[in-house]
Every structure is written in C-alpha cells, then in structure tokens.
Amino acid sequence: MKAEKIEVENFTSPGRVTRVDKAKYEAMKKALLKVLPKAAPGLTVAEAKEKLLQFLDQELFPGGEKAGWWLKAVQLDLEAKGIVKRGNSKPLRLHQS
C-alpha cells in the first residue's frame, strides 16, 4: 500500500512545492508545535529537536531516525504558511506566530 502524500512549501524557496509522506509530516508538525513557544525568542532548531523527540511516534521515527530532515521540512513549510516565525538571530530561533 502506498503512503498518502501531502504537498509542502518551502519558506526559503517561494513557489517550490514538494510531496512528502503525510503521516510523518503530521506527526512532526504536531510534535514541533507542541514544543515551540508562542513568543520570541523561541528555541534553536537543535533545542526544538531535542524537546520534540519524546513526542514522536516510534513506529514512524524509530529512535528519532530522520527526525532532523523532517523537522527542517516541516519548519520550512510552517514558515511559508505563517504558522512559525524565525527570529533575526544566530543561531536561528523559532517560535509560533
């Protein structure tokens, strides 16, 4: 059985759309939004990853496998949709809109 796909956008490449596994996308989105604060300064990407690993479905992300790639894909899509904002700092910090 083929996995259901979802189209995601990319904040850094406007107009670029990619199709990804919907179940993994939704699981990562839920975990990311659970850990990201609603206001600046937010969390670094590394801090967000560390915090969200505990909320990921182990069948989809065994041992956190590929979590970094999925975090970045979901982050960029949510930024493109205006759900997540990035701060103007280094390292990059994220928070909910």
Contact in structure between 37 and 96 (CB atoms under 8 Å): yes
Q: CB neighbours of 5 closer than 8 A, spacing ≥ 6?
A: 19, 20, 21, 22
Look at residue 11 and tell me whether its pLDDT is greater than 80: yes
Residue 48: per-residue pLDDT: 98
Choose between 3 and 23: higher pLDDT. Answer: 23
Residue 65: per-residue pLDDT: 95
**C-alpha to C-alpha distances, 61 to 22, 54, 69, nearest whole angstrom:** 13, 11, 11
pLDDT tens sequence across 62-80: 999 999 999 999 999 999 9
Average model confidence (pLDDT) across the chain: 95
Residue 87: per-residue pLDDT: 93
Per the structure, how many domains does the chain have? Answer: 1
Task: Map residue 78 onto helix, strand or coil.
Answer: helix
Contact in structure between 67 and 49 (CB atoms under 8 Å): yes
Which H or E run includes 95?
strand 93-96
Residue 1: per-residue pLDDT: 65
Range of the domain at 29: 5-96
